Each structure stands twice: as structure tokens, then as C-alpha cells.
């Protein structure tokens, strides 16, 4: 469960840092 939360948090940070990057998937 923790790993999922970390992933969500990391993607949230990436979105804040580079909102124009979009989803890497």
C-alpha cells in the first residue's frame, strides 16, 4: 500500500514541477 501512495505522491510532484509533461504512460 505504501508503494502505491509513494507513486501517487511522486506523480503529483512531477505534475506540479512540469504540468506540461502530461502522463508518461
- Confirm whether pTM is higher than 0.85: no
**CA dist list (Å): 11 to 3, 21, 23:** 12, 11, 9
pLDDT tens sequence for the chain (25 residues) = 789 999 999 999 988 887 776 555 5
DSSP-derived secondary structure letter, 23: -
Taking phi over 0 as left and psi of -120 to 50 as alpha, with beta for the rest, 23 belongs to: beta
Residues shown for the chain: 25
CB 9 within 8 A of CB 2: no
pLDDT value at residue 20: 72
DSSP-based three-state secondary structure for 1: coil
Amino acid at each position: 500500500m505504501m508503494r502505491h501512495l509513494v507513486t501517487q505522491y511522486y506523480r503529483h510532484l512531477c505534475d506540479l514541477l512540469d504540468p506540461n509533461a502530461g502522463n508518461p504512460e
